[in-house]
Amino acid sequence: MKKAISVLFLILVMVTFAGCQQNTIAEKNEKIVIYLSGPEAMLEKLETEFENEYGDVCEFLVMSCGQVKSKVWAEKEAGKIQADIIWGSDPAVYNVLSDEGVLEEIKIHNKSDLNSQYLTQNNYVLTHERYVTILYNKDKFANGSQPQSFSDLKNEEYADMLVMADANQSATALAIASSLYQMLDQDMDYFSDLHQNGVLLAKSNGQVPSKIMEGEFDLGIGPHDSVIRLKNKAKKEGFPMPVEIVWPTEGVIAINRPMAIIKKDRDTEKSELCQQFVNFILSKKAQQITYGFGFVSVRNDIENGYLPDNATIFQVDWKSAIENEDQFKQDYQEIFK
Amino acid sequence: MKINLNKTIRKSLNNSHLQQLRLRFCLKNVILFILLSVLVSIVIYPIARLVVKSVIINSDFSFKSVQQLLRIGGLRSIFNTFKLAFTVLVGAWLVGGTMAYISVNTDYRHKKIINTLMFLTFTIPSYILSVSWIQITSRNGYLYRVLKTVFPSMRFDLNTYSIGAAATVLIVHLAPLVFFGLKNSLERLNISLINSARISGASRSQITAKIVLPLMVPSFISTGLLVFSRSLANFGVVAQLALPVGQEVLTTSIFSAVSSLNLGAACVLAVVLMVISLILYQAIDKISCRERYVFRSDQVNGSSFIRLGRVEGLVTSVLSIYFALTLIIPLVTIFLSSFVKRWGVPISLESLTLSNYLKIINGEIRVFRALFNSLSFGLIAGFAAVTIVSLTLFLAKNNRGKPISWALKICHLPIAFPNMILAIAAIFAWSEQPIKLYGTKWIIIITYVVLFMPIILKQVKGMVDNIDTSADKVARTMGIGFCRRFYHLFLPQCKPGLAAGFLTCLLIALREIPVSLLLYTNRTRTMGVMLFTVQSNSYGLEMTSTIAVIIIFLSMTLSLLMRKLNRGRGYDGSAAN
């Protein structure tokens, strides 16, 4: 028994140290290190497709949007960003990084294939678009009494029905909240009213459709793609999925997912690989994969089947969002405490 | 002249002060030096950095962070923390104290069942209890569904998310701490005092008011302070039940501050929490010392039992309802939910599935990786902590001196710090060059070592105090070296305590949330992180329940093993939480 326990312990220690060695290999810059966020199944599929073509060359570090943002920020402050590529979160942080000269220029292979509205002047590319909408449980609003606009959510008839992600815990939720603030004429009272109306703050945006689907809440503010993924899952696993989307009358908030290459000393081959990876994500093959997971493509040749014709899009001013972020956070915390 | 010189040299050699300063390059001193260096590096250095960071911004001494703390509602968090801890304290005293009284002072027939059920309640991690609270009380929860079936037209508004809900869950979880603490004290109450009072004509109420209660006061206070400090340090339950409605306590405020990169405020909040915890632990230590003089180990006298008579039926009913609500129903809901396709869908044969477990087995959810991480981090950190503590205790047992007593104090110090503080301190200590461990598994392992040391010390200290030093003295006289004396004489004598401590460490590693949540990366996800983060877009409470079932099974197995190892030493499992 003693011998067995000793052997088990030894094996565990060896495996743990072996894992450590793998880390070291990654740190020796033999692979491109990518900090990214997103649905794990989608990222796995993309990694497999890319590596089928280029070999085992990627090191994906999958995190939440907030973690990508905070890790990059902390590493930048410490003097060196460890990642070669960052992908996820919102454009606000990328604008700052681009302005500070931390990002490398990206050479897009077929620029004409991309929709011109998604091309930026900065050193990053936009890979997808998602829309912040109102989500609701269709079984609870069978008579069509669901809210039609973000402003409706303040009404007393929707008291204790609403769930949204907490901007204190999630970076995308912060982006959504500050976009709402911009769209509703910088009206901080909107959040006070939601608070008065009993809004629940979930840990992440992913939880919003889940909580509606499970019957805990009837309404939510969240990105549309999470509903698409939940619908796909419900279809596959055979359970009822009553969550639907309202495209608000004020317009839907468009949030783009950026990708950037970090400027650093690396050999030509690796630099080329980074450029290849970004171009792969913008390719039709990769964009079709991500479209299946609910993300709107930035390419001209993949139709946006998610956004209804009559919906208007509100484009966020990310520069202003980052400038006002501290004040917004402070006011938001004041309300939700 | 020569004689005078010799005299001077001898004089100086006899100078005791100089003798103390003389360096002796023996193995014992080298090990002590290494031990102290390691302890200072992993315990003192991170805490010192945290304290310094809280007042120094951009290399300047500043109270900006304190101002920021006030701005982000730090005072509200402190108020909520105390409100929560005080509510839990009163509730746990009431529940645990009543149970202990019934268990020791009455002739109740099912005392063993109370013991076992209290023990089982304590083995369920508090976070899992909060998950089952949501499953029972939330809209569309099991209670709601049952009530809706019976009274279809009524509107139910159960307050699932609030500080009160968090307090209720923590009372259920921490009441066993009071129960075991007070039960031990009541059992050790000196019966002769009661018998003397009875012979002198004192009534039962007089005996209770003038003898039992005054003797129990230190025990009440020390268990109460323990419950209070555990409530202050709790993160998982509050994050699950109070944070969603914007009610923050210190631990959740620290987490929010770190998440939004407000590190200055995180530092100040951490230091506030640290100071409160330190004061509480000092108080517990002092009261525990006083307790030793109050109680004596005596046999329980059966004749002093209060006869329940007809009330026994009522007691059984109340206890059955209590355990049904706090243990049976939560376990059943968690177990049942782990078999539904998606939590929230109506329960029927069609909605039941094994697919949640299959997803874990086929690797779709990387629970095995998380389990491996938790166990391997726990094993390595536990082994390191056992080595450090046993060496320190061996040195302290056979030698005296300030460095040894410092080493012992440093080993004990982390018990006063909530896990969240240890994690924040580790971030500040190990994020920068030359030793940059942030983002690797080693930062978690080192923080676990710090977390485990006082727990192992608590398990082994009593055992080591009872070891006779004469055997070691004889061995030393015979010329047996340090290592051989440590391995062949010392270790075998405290082996059961070390083994129990080691298992406790594994149990903590299996269910711990705050440390790994602040320090994990994609590759170093642990079971605690998995449990906390799995509920998302793709998975609902059904997957949280599936992981919870695995953790409950492993927790119960390890706890029972520890109970077996500690049999006869009054194990209450408190170290594991």
At residue B478, φ and ψ (nearest 5 deg) are -80, 0
Which of B376, B522, B539 comes nearest A62 by C-beta? B522
At residue A7, φ and ψ (nearest 5 deg) are -65, -45
Q: Say how many C-beta atoms besides its own lie within 10 A of residue A302's C-beta.
A: 16
With bands split at pLDDT 50, 70 and 90, how would you rate the model's confidence at A22? very low
Distances (CA, A) of B385 to B4, B378, B427: 54, 10, 20
Q: What is the pLDDT of residue A126?
A: 93
Q: How far is B108 from chain A (nearest CA, A)?
A: 42
Q: What is the pLDDT of residue A81?
A: 83
By C-alpha distance, the chain B residue nearest A159 is B157
State what percent of residues in chain B have pLDDT above 70. 86
User: In the 8-state DSSP scheme, what is residue A314?
Assistant: E
Flag whether residue A13 sits within 8 Å of chain B, measured between CB atoms. yes
Cβ pair A78:B375 closer than 8 A: no
Q: Rounded CA gap, A70 and B261, in Å?
A: 6
Flag whether residue B536 sits within 8 Å of chain A, measured between CB atoms. yes
Higher pLDDT, B167 or A304: B167
pLDDT for A213 beyond 70: yes
Cβ pair A166:B243 closer than 8 A: yes
Distances (CA, A) of B221 to A69, A256, A334, B214: 45, 56, 36, 11
pLDDT for A225 beyond 70: yes
Q: What is the pLDDT of residue B414?
A: 87
Which of B72, B259, B383 comes nearest A169 by C-beta? B259
Query: Which sign does the torsion angle of CA B358, B360, B364, B365 carry?
Result: positive
Flag whether residue A71 sits within 8 Å of chain B, measured between CB atoms. yes
Q: Rounded CA gap, A241 and B275, in Å?
A: 49
Q: Rounded CA gap, B30 and B38, in Å?
A: 12
**CATH superfamily of the B25-48+67-296+310-576 domain:** MetI-like (1.10.3720.10)
Q: What is the pLDDT of residue A15?
A: 55
* Beta-carbon-side half-sphere exposure of residue A207 (alpha carbons within 13 Å): 25
Q: Rounded CA gap, B161 and B242, in Å?
A: 6
Q: How far is B200 from chain A (nearest CA, A)?
A: 59
Q: What is the pLDDT of residue B470?
A: 86
Mean pLDDT of A317-336: 83
Q: What is the pLDDT of residue B473?
A: 87
Which of A13, A213, A329 comes nearest B344 by C-beta? A213
pLDDT in tens, A172-195: 888 899 889 988 888 889 999 999
Q: What is the 3-state secondary structure (H, E, C) of A134-178?
A: EEEECCCCCCCCCCCCCHHHHCHHHCCCEEEECCCCCHHHHHHHH
Q: Which residues 161-220 on chain A approach chain B with CB closer than 8 angstroms?
A: 166, 168-169, 174, 195, 200-207, 209-210, 213-217
The CA-based angle B236-A174-A145, given to 5 degrees, is 90
Flag whether residue B76 sits within 8 Å of chain A, measured between CB atoms. yes
Choose, out of B75, B253, B260, B506, the residue to mutate when testing the contact with A (most A CBs < 10 Å). Answer: B260
pLDDT in tens, B183-194: 888 887 777 777
Based on its alpha-carbon atoms, the radius of gyration of chain A, rounded to whole angstroms, reads: 22
Token pair listed for B144: 């709601």
Q: Rounded CA gap, B467 and B488, in Å?
A: 14
The closest of B214, B160, B213, B219 to B185, measured between CA atoms, is B219
Q: How far is B535 from chain A (nearest CA, A)?
A: 7
Phi/psi region, residue A114 (left: phi>0; alpha: psi -120 to 50; beta: rest), is: beta
The domain segmentation of chain B, as residue ranges, is: 25-48+67-296+310-576
Q: Which residues 139-168 on chain B approach chain A with CB closer than 8 angstroms?
A: 139-141, 157, 161
Q: What is the pLDDT of residue A72?
A: 83
Token pair listed for B205: 């109420």
With bands split at pLDDT 50, 70 and 90, how would you rate the model's confidence at A23? very low
Token pair listed for B517: 């949540």
Flag whether residue A226 sits within 8 Å of chain B, measured between CB atoms. yes
Q: Rounded CA gap, A75 and A82, in Å?
A: 7
The parts of chain B modelled with pLDDT lower than 50 are 1-3, 293-301, 570-571, 573, 576-577
Compute, in degrees rounded to 10, the torsion defined by CA atoms B371, B457, B517, B338: 40
Which of A213, A329, A336 comes nearest B260 by C-beta? A329
Could you tell me where in chain A the CATH 3.40.190.10 domains are found?
Answer: 2-128+256-297, 129-254+310-335
pLDDT in tens, A47-83: 999 999 998 888 888 877 877 887 787 777 766 787 8
Domain A2-128+256-297: which topology? D-Maltodextrin-Binding Protein; domain 2 (3.40.190)
Q: Say how many C-beta atoms besides its own lie within 10 A of residue A16's C-beta.
A: 18
Domain with residues A129-254+310-335, CATH architecture: 3-Layer(aba) Sandwich (3.40)
Which chain B residues are within 8 Å of A19, Cβ to Cβ?
441, 523
Which chain A residues are within 8 Å of B341, Cβ to Cβ?
237-239
